[in-house]
């Protein structure tokens, strides 16, 4: 029963021996078997590009490698920047309560259109009306003290003038008494009395000045009380105004307003409103293409529903996303009928300056030893030469490239079998890959 596994192992060992050690003999045997088969005639154009490429690369012509090339001429194309993005509402806000209270208004349902300053939620006023009346009464009381306080100022000023006159009289009497005393015509008692009268006059002036300052400060106190009462009235009115929560702009309700009877605290949500006219298209531009986009540039977009949009670039970010190294871009699009919704996926095309480019098959692209993307050209002496290019965009007909001369003989088949300086025998085809019109 073990003879079959043993025979299998022997056959596998023999096959591996010929495959590894006698590989050349095995390939010669296989090639001889292929030559023994009768060739099959294929119709014109039936050979695949891979078979044609292999045949060209294996057939030297006087030491030159046979390749297929096209004579390409550069053309001006509209090098639009193509992005993937989404639609976003122009504005979105969550309206919140600024004071506490119970909702006493009927709710509005989501999807309803609301106008600017339309009431969304109305709260129960409670005792806020009484608070406003009390504040207004304090203001009236403070204003009522104005006449009484103002009257004290002239009275204090008159008392001050009287005290100053009495002081002047006392000063004259004191001076006369001193001179008479020096001539022996006045007693010391009179001199002492006049000096006492002078000091009394000075004290009366100081007292009158203090009374005037008191009257003036009393007026300032009244003015301060009035301002405090006015602030109390304004605060009470503001608290009453907060009972009516209104829409900051015209838009659509994205949620129901607060239900009747709900107790709202400061910061509680009343409703969410979005503005869809105009609507924004938001995308992210790679840093390699950000220099090709400017504010005010024309832009178009296609939604997944097939709807097409047009607008202008209104914002281009100056700071790159730290992870993706892309820049945010916003395009404003009119949306009067509100058909475009927030969050729809869209393909964005932004117009930029046209430039000269060649359209070649994508298979013609290759890499050199340094890993640079390019194509191989046929020079004037029929030698292969690598030329670095920059890919603008892909089309169904091929790839649009820049960085080449206006006229170039581009190798499209066989470029992988030659290096710079190798002689080639090009067979030119019509530039079918580059004959399609450039996309505008």
DSSP labels, 171-239: HHHHHHHHHHHHHT-S-HHHHHHHHHHHHHHHHHHHHHHHHHHHHHHHHHHHHHHHHHHHHHHHHHHHH
Decide the pairing of beta strands 384-388 and 373-378: antiparallel
Distance CA 299, CA 80 (A): 9
Q: Measure the CA angle with vertex 120, ends 114 and 125; round to 5°.
A: 155
- Sign (positive/negative) of CA torsion 370, 375, 381, 382? positive
Decide the pairing of beta strands 64-73 and 424-429: parallel
Pick 69-77+355-429's CATH classification: 1.10.490.10, 1.10.10.60, 1.10.287.610, 2.40.420.20: 2.40.420.20
Query: Edge-to-edge strands of the sheet including 75-77?
Result: 75-77, 355-360, 398-402, 390-395
- Residue ranges of domains in the chain: 69-77+355-429, 91-123+243-269, 129-241, 276-350
pLDDT of 37 over the 50 cut: no
For 6, phi and psi rounded to 5 degrees? -70, -45
Give the mean pLDDT of 41-61.
46
Say which range, 103-112, 146-155, 300-309, has the weakest mean pLDDT: 146-155
pLDDT at 41: 42
Percent of the chain with pLDDT over 90: 37
Candidates 38, 81, 17; CA nearest to 313 is 81
Pick 91-123+243-269's CATH classification: 3.90.180.10, 3.30.499.10, 1.20.1250.20, 2.40.50.100: 2.40.50.100
Confidence band for 161, pLDDT divided at 50, 70 and 90: confident
Distance CA 369, CA 362 (A): 19
pLDDT at 212: 78
Say which range, 51-60, 193-202, 306-315, has the weakest mean pLDDT: 51-60
């Amino acid at each position: 029963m073990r003879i079959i596994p043993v025979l299998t192992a022997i056959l596998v060992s023999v096959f591996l021996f010929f495959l590894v050690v006698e590989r050349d003999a095995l390939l010669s045997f296989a090639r001889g078997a292929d030559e023994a088969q009768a060739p099959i005639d294929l119709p014109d154009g039936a050979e695949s590009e891979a078979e044609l490429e292999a045949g060209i690369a294996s057939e030297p012509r006087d030491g030159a490698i046979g390749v297929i090339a096209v004579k390409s001429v550069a053309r001006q194309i509209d090098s639009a920047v193509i992005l993937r993005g989404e639609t976003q509402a122009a504005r979105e806000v969550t309206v919140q309560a600024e004071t506490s209270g119970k909702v006493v208004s009927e709710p509005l349902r989501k999807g309803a259109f609301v106008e600017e300053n339309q009431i969304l939620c109305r709260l129960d006023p409670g005792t806020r009306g009484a608070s406003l009346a009390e504040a207004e009464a304090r203001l009236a009381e403070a204003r009522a003290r104005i006449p009484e306080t103002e009257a004290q100022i002239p009275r204090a000023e008159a008392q001050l003038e009287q005290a100053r006159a009495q002081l002047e009289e006392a000063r004259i009497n004191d001076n006369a008494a001193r001179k008479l005393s020096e001539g022996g015509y006045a007693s010391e008692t009179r001199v002492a009395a006049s000096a006492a009268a002078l000091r009394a006059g000075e004290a009366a002036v100081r007292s009158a000045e203090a009374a005037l300052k008191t009257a003036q400060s009393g007026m300032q106190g009244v003015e301060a009380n009035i301002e405090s009462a006015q602030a109390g009235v304004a605060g009470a009115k503001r608290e009453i105004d907060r009972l009516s929560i209104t829409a900051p702009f015209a838009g659509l309700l994205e949620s129901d307003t607060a239900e009747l009877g709900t107790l709202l605290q400061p910061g509680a949500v009343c409703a969410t409103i979005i503005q869809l006219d105009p609507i924004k298209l938001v995308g992210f531009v790679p840093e390699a293409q950000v220099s090709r986009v400017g504010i005010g540039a024309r832009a178009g977009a296609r939604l997944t529903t097939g709807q097409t949009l047009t607008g202008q670039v209104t914002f281009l970010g100056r700071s790159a996303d730290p992870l993706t190294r892309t820049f945010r871009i916003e395009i404003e699009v009119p949306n009067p009928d509100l058909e475009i919704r927030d969050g729809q996926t869209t393909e964005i095309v932004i117009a930029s300056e046209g430039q000269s480019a060649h359209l070649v098959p994508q298979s013609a692209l290759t890499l050199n030893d340094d890993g640079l993307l390019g194509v191989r050209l046929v020079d004037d002496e029929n030698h292969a030469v690598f030329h670095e290019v920059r890919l603008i965009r892909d089309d169904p007909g091929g790839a649009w490239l820049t960085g080449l001369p206006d006229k170039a003989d581009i190798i499209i088949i066989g470029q992988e079998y030659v290096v710079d300086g190798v002689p080639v025998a090009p067979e030119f085809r019509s530039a079918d890959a580059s004959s399609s019109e450039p996309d505008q």
